[in-house]
Amino acid sequence: MSGGGRGSGAEPAAAVGRRPGTAAEPGGAVAPEVAGPAVTAVVVAESPVLGCLATLAPLLADAARAALQLVLVRRAAAWAVATAPGRAVLALAGEPPAGLADRLPAGVAIVAGEAGAAAGPAGAALVRAAAGRFGDGRVLVAGAAWPRLGAEHAAAALGDLAAGAASVFGPALDGGAYLVGLAEPVADLLLLPAGPAGLPRALELARGLGHEVGLLRHERALATPDDAAAFLADPLLAPELRAALAGA
């Protein structure tokens, strides 16, 4: 199994192609036998505007945080395009800034919701709208706040779905999830679980639906100054992220 965690979900998956601590590149084609047809890739992100990434305010000024968020969104959008060509969607919480579409990889559809709609009922509605943009089929939902999101995560999730899992989760270090993969859309699971109780609740729901569940490896979000320090300590951090974290 590519994800290494299908079934009981008791243990996190083994690394899916890179050693822990290295920064994955967002693009890179997913193997055809894993990717298959009818996959929609949804990226959930806060709009890259002044006031975003508020938890990084002790580290970066408003304009620098907006620039950093644009880098994160652009990288995650590249991941979506590589994962699901022609079926990539950016679910944006907040109005997109002028010219955003021109700064993103070609082939990304934008579905915008109200500011702060990355979580809760509004977030669920936003992700459902994005996931349904291209009709039915398998769905991968991922967050832009995880800089190491890469092609190997998509390949592992799709591999688990191809092997019989009905849902796949990428656990986040805070107890939520950075990726949710579904063999078919399930409204109650079309949201990135957040907070310490988020993933346990999602796993309970998935298993209550009779799902065989896959787990990927844990990943760290870029959400706090401590997270930023951890990423900056990685010598393989992508140069554009290093520059953005430095406020360049």
Residue 99: Cβ-neighbour burial (10 angstroms; 0-12, 13-18, 19+):
exposed
Domain count of the fold of the chain: 1
In a domain, 12, yes or no: no
- What is the CATH number for 146? 3.90.550.10
State how far the Cα of 127 lies from the Cα of 139, in Å rounded to an integer. 11
State how far the Cα of 161 lies from the Cα of 138, in Å rounded to an integer. 8
Q: Are 133 and 9 in contact (CB under 8 A)?
A: no
In a domain, 231, yes or no: yes
State how far the Cα of 247 lies from the Cα of 60, in Å rounded to an integer. 7
Domain that holds residue 38: 33-245
In a domain, 16, yes or no: no
- Residue-wise pLDDT for 120-143, tens only, equals 667 788 999 999 888 889 999 999
Beta bridge mates, 90: 43, 110
Q: Is 138 helix (H, G, I), strand (E, B) or coil?
A: strand
Taking every pair of Cα atoms in the chain, the longest distance, rounded to a whole number of angstroms, is 49
Q: Which residues contact 176 (CB under 8 A, 6 or more apart)?
A: 192, 193, 194, 195, 198, 199
Element (H, E) at 65: helix 62-83
In a domain, 23, yes or no: no
- Residue-wise pLDDT for 72-113, tens only, equals 999 999 999 999 999 999 999 999 999 999 999 999 999 998
In a domain, 3, yes or no: no
Show pLDDT as tens, one digit a residue, over the chain (248 residues).
444 455 433 333 333 333 333 344 665 555 444 545 489 999 999 999 999 999 999 999 999 999 999 999 999 999 999 999 999 999 999 999 999 999 999 999 999 987 765 556 677 889 999 998 888 899 999 999 999 999 999 999 999 999 999 999 999 998 899 999 999 999 999 999 998 999 999 999 999 999 999 999 999 999 999 999 999 999 999 999 999 998 75
